[in-house]
Amino acid sequence: MKSNSSSGDGTARNRAVGGIRRGPAPAWLSPAWFLCFALWVGGGFTRPAPANEIHVPGDYPRIQDAINAAVDGDQVWVAPGRYEEKLNLHGKAILLSGEDPENPDNVAATVVDADGFDAPVIICAAGETEQCVVRGLTLMGGTGWLIGQGRHGNRSTVGGGIFCRNAAPTFEYCQVRENWCLGHYGDGAGVYCGQGAQPTFYRCRFVANAAEKWGSIVYVSDPGSSLRASECCWQGNSSDRISTMTMIWVHAAERVELVDCLLEDNDNTTYVIFPYATELLLERCIIRGNDGCLLRADGQREVDEVVVRNCIITDNRHASNLIVSYGGAFTIDGCTFADNATTSATISLNYGTTAEITHSIFWNDPPGTWTISYDPQSFVAVSYCDIWGEWGHGNLFADPLFASWNGNDYWLAPGSPCIDAGARDRVDAIPWPARLDNGRRADLGAFGGPWAAGWRVWRADGDGQGLP
């Protein structure tokens, strides 16, 4: 009988034990593996350091001093108080937060006031990423930076509250209020985004900001720049001192998205939102009580570049038109327009504009005005709408029977002709209770169709208002 031994090439042969042939031991059972594990547990290998917490004013009296001391991954916690300073995040991936960011009272009490510094309140211009998070602070008193070249080659004062250039920071639960950009083509009093900036805003409030020229709230400029805001409140941005051209001005940028936002009581402006040659999405927004032309869409080539979807647009005022376009293109899908005051038309299309309007409700226009007007060079397709006047097959001209529920208006009451009146292949995303006698086929208006399920309203008092 041959005994187990090494083979001629020096490789150990498999042994048979109990009739079972076993291969070589797994690598993870080797002594080297146990040694590595012991070194890791014992600290022999370097592990990521836990986030260092820096407290203001406990560790540093000034927020900027704490930022300067922080490294990537650190957290800077700011106690309630008024900090008279301007801030620069210097490209760091840190958390800068108030102590209780989801409490509106705490946010209002944690103030960074840049009044007197002739600068933005906070600067992000060193490649900050989404891992740079500013949370639960009130940013006020900023007057912006004077940059060398503005929209028309002029020197411009931009970015009163937030100056963002070539950076993509995240802002959550912040208030951006009472910032100014005056003179020198003042633009973007609340936020300036330029040269590839891509900030994100979540549950932030923009209140009482004012710019002398463009963008009292936001100015987004340059190819590659974009902005996304969700569940934000844009309220009461106006000024008795100046009359601004726009509240949200977007010029030749990449894209701006406002989702589940409230735009309310913004006054003393020519245009509330003016995207030029830029993609824009307004989705599930409440837009009400504003004084000025709500939307001007110029320079877009395709109707899917500016999309207004499942929005409630009510009680807005303008001396001419609520939505106007000069050679642009846009889509209005699943919106509710009601009780707006204009002297000409709700929608005015000019100079070769192309528009698609579908599954929307237009009701209670002022007497003697047009719902939609367009010149011979323009084209509009209107389908599955409840609209004043005669717009052909597939459109209604009937009282939509609006109702109020849980503090929100413009629901469809049982028996509304707009219930289940959408296209046959379009369904409602809101699971209506059986008692409402509302089937799966899409309703008209803001609460119907496939994008309605996400409805939320971020109210001015800071409460989230859910819908059934």
- What is the percentage of the chain residues whose pLDDT exceeds 90? 66
Is residue 88, in this structure, part of any structural domain at all?
A: yes
Please say if the pLDDT value at position 76 is more than 90: yes
Q: What is the DSSP letter of 37?
A: H
Beta bridge partners of 177: 140, 207
- Please tell me the total count of domains within the chain: 1
Judge whether 79 lies within some domain. Answer: yes
Q: 2 versus 443: which is more confidently predicted?
A: 443
- Higher model confidence: residue 6 or residue 30? 30
**Is residue 368 a part of any domain in this protein?**
no
Give domain status of residue 23, yes or no.
no
Between 48-57, 68-77, 149-158, 407-416, the lowest mean confidence (pLDDT) is in 149-158
The alpha helices in 56-186, defined as continuous H runs, are: 63-69, 104-109
pLDDT in tens, 316-335: 998 789 999 999 999 999 99
In a domain, 12, yes or no: no
pLDDT band at 447 (very low <50, low <70, confident <90, very high): very high
Residue 389 has pLDDT above 80, yes or no: no
Three-state secondary structure call for residue 240: coil
> What is the signed CA dihedral for 44, 48, 49, 53, rounded to 10 degrees?
-170
Given this model, what pLDDT does residue 8 score?
Answer: 38
Residue with tokens 């990449």: 254
Range of the structural domain that residue 132 is part of: 53-283
Looking up tokens 């717009």, which residue turns up?
391
Mean pLDDT for 81-101 is: 98
When pLDDT is averaged across residues 240-253 and rounded to a whole number, the result is: 76
Q: Is 171 in contact with 139 (CB distance < 8 Å)?
A: no
Inform me whether the pLDDT recorded for 34 exceeds 50.
no
Query: What is the C-alpha separation between 299 and 167, in angstroms, rounded?
Result: 26
| 150 or 61, higher pLDDT | 61
d(C-alpha 267, C-alpha 247), whole Å: 9
Q: Is residue 381 part of a domain?
A: no
**pLDDT confidence bin for 20, thresholds 50/70/90:** very low
The pLDDT assigned to 72 comes to: 98
Decide if 247 is inside a domain.
Answer: yes
Residue 422 has pLDDT above 50, yes or no: yes
219 near 188, Cβ under 8 Å? yes
The lowest-confidence range among 75-79, 214-218, 222-226 is 214-218
Return d(Cα 313, Cα 232) in angstroms, integer: 16
Q: Say how far apart CA 362 and CA 341 lie, in whole Å.
A: 12
Distance CA(87)–CA(122), nearest Å, equals: 5
For the cut 50, the answer to whether the pLDDT of residue 23 exceeds it is no
pLDDT for the residue 6: 35
Return the percentage of the chain with pLDDT > 70, whole number.
83
143 pLDDT more than 60 = yes
* CB 332 within 8 Å of CB 396: no
Instruction: Write down the pLDDT at residue 393.
Output: 77
Q: How far apart are the C-alpha atoms of 30 and 331, rounded to whole Å?
A: 65
Closest residue by Cα to residue 224 from 279, 262, 261: 279
Q: Name the phi and psi angles at 288, rounded to 5.
A: -150, 150
Task: Pick the closest to residue 203 from 408, 468, 459 (CA basis).
Answer: 459
Lowest mean pLDDT among 22-31, 208-217, 235-244: 22-31
Q: How much is the average pLDDT of 353-358?
A: 96
pLDDT in tens, 177-205: 999 998 667 889 999 999 999 999 999 99
The answer to whether residue 279 is domain-embedded is: yes
Average pLDDT across the chain, whole number: 85
Query: What pLDDT is recorded for position 413?
Result: 93
User: β-pairing, 226-230 with 200-202?
Assistant: parallel
Positive/negative CA dihedral, 39, 45, 51, 55: positive
CATH number of the domain to which 202 belongs? 2.160.20
| pLDDT greater at residue 297 or residue 14 | 297
Q: Which of 7-16, 150-159, 328-337, 418-427 is predicted least confidently?
A: 7-16
pLDDT above 90: residue 92: yes
Name the token pair of 438: 């509302």
